[in-house]
Amino acid sequence: MTALRSDLAIIAREVRANARILDVGCGDGLLLAALRDTKDADARGMELDARDVATAVARGLSVVQGDADTDLADYPDGSFDYAILSQTLQTTKRPDLVLDHLVRVGRQAFVSFPNFAQWRMRLAHMFGGRMPVTEQLPHTWYDTPNIHHVTIDDFRSFLNERNIRIEGQWFLSGDKPRNERFANLLAEHAVFLLRRD
Amino acid sequence: MHQDTRFGLDKKTQLLGPVQLDSGAQFAPVECAYETYGALNADKSNAILICHALTGDQYLASNHPVTGKAGWWTRMVGPGKPIDPARHCIISINVLGSCMGSSGPASIDPVTGAPYAMAFPVITIADMVRAQALLLNHLGIETLEAVVGGSMGGMQALSWAALYPERVRSAVIIASTARHSAQNIAFHEVGRQAIMADPRWNNGAYYGHEAPSAGLAVARMAAHITYLSEAGLTEKFGRRLQNRDAKSFGFDADFQVESYLRHQGLSFVDRFDANSYLYITRAMDYFDLAEPHDGILAKAFAGTKTRFCLISFDSDWLYPTAESRRIVHALNAAGAAASFVELSSPFGHDAFLLEAPEMNRIVDGFLRAGESR
B260, B330: one domain: no
* Distance (Å, whole) CA A115 – CA A104: 24
pLDDT for A10: 94
A96 in any annotated domain: yes
- CB of B4 closer than 8 Å to CB of B53: no
**Domain end marker among B251, B282, B313:** B282
Task: Give the total number of structural domains in chain A.
Answer: 1
CB atoms B339 and A57 under 8 Å: yes
B339 touches chain A (CB under 8 A): yes
Instruction: Say whether both B47 and B94 belong to one domain.
Output: yes
Q: Assess if residue B26 is contained within a domain.
A: yes
Q: Establish if B3 belongs to a structural domain.
A: no
Catalytic residues of B: 151, 316, 349
B302 contact A CB<8A: no
What's the pLDDT at B191?
98
How many Cα atoms occupy the beta-carbon half-sphere of A26 within 13 Å? 33
Q: Are residues B155 and B133 in the same domain?
A: yes
- Work out the minimum CA distance from B361 to partner chain A, whole angstroms: 6
Q: What share of chain B is helix, strand, coil (3-state, %, to 5)?
A: 40, 15, 45
Sequence-ordered strand ranges (E) for A68-126 = 80-86, 106-114
Range of the domain at B213: 184-282
Phi and psi at A8, nearest 5°, equal: -70, -35
- CATH classification of the domain holding A178: 3.40.50.150
**Which residues does B373 contact at the CB level (< 8 Å), separation at least 6?**
none
Final residue before a domain boundary, out of B265, B282, B299: B282
Cβ-based contacts of A101 with chain B (< 8 Å): none
In chain B, what residues touch A67 (CB-CB under 8 Å)?
none
CB contact under 8 A, A65 and B342: yes
Contact of B368 with chain A, judged by CB distance below 8 Å, is answered with yes
For the entire predicted model, the pTM comes to 0.94
B109 domain residue, yes or no: yes
pLDDT value, residue A74: 85
Q: Among B282, B303, B332, which residue terminates a domain? A: B282
Strand A80-86 relative to strand A106-114, pairing: parallel
Contact call for residues B54 and B97 (beta carbons, < 8 A): no
Least CB–CB distance from B337: residue in A62, A76, A79: A62
* Cβ-nearest to B339 among A63, A71, A79: A63
Residues B55 and B101 grouped into a single domain: yes
Q: What is the pLDDT along chain A (197 residues), one digit of tens a residue?
A: 568 889 999 999 999 999 999 999 999 999 999 999 999 999 999 999 999 999 999 888 999 999 999 999 889 999 999 999 999 999 999 999 999 999 999 999 999 999 988 988 888 888 888 888 877 778 888 988 888 999 999 999 999 999 999 999 999 998 899 988 899 999 999 999 999 98
Same domain, yes or no: B265 and B362: no
User: Residue B6 domain-assigned?
Assistant: no
* Residue A105 within a domain: yes
Question: Cβ A60–B342 below 8 Å, yes or no?
Answer: no
Return the CATH number at B196. 1.10.1740.110
Q: Are residues B56 and B200 located together in one domain of the fold?
A: no
Domain match, B188 and B175 both = no
Question: What CATH number corresponds to the domain at position B41?
Answer: 3.40.50.1820
Residue A177 lies in a domain: yes
Residues B209 and B96 in one domain: no
Residue B44 lies in a domain: yes
Q: To 5 degrees, how large is the angle CA A152–CA A157–CA A159?
A: 95
* Structural domain contains residue B5: no
Which residues lie below 8 Å from residue A62, measured CB to CB, with a gap of 6+?
Answer: A43, A44, A45, B307, B337, B338, B339
B301/A contact by beta carbon, under 8 A:
no
Distance from CA of A103 to the nearest CA of B (A): 17
Residue among B328, B341, B362, B364 with most chain A CBs within 10 A, to mutate: B341
| Phi-psi domain of A25 (left: phi exceeds 0; alpha: psi -120 through 50; beta: other) | left
ipTM surpasses cut 0.85: yes
Query: Of all residues in chain A, what percent carry a pLDDT higher than 90?
Result: 72
Which residues from chain B sit within 8 angstroms of residue A75, using beta carbons? 332-333
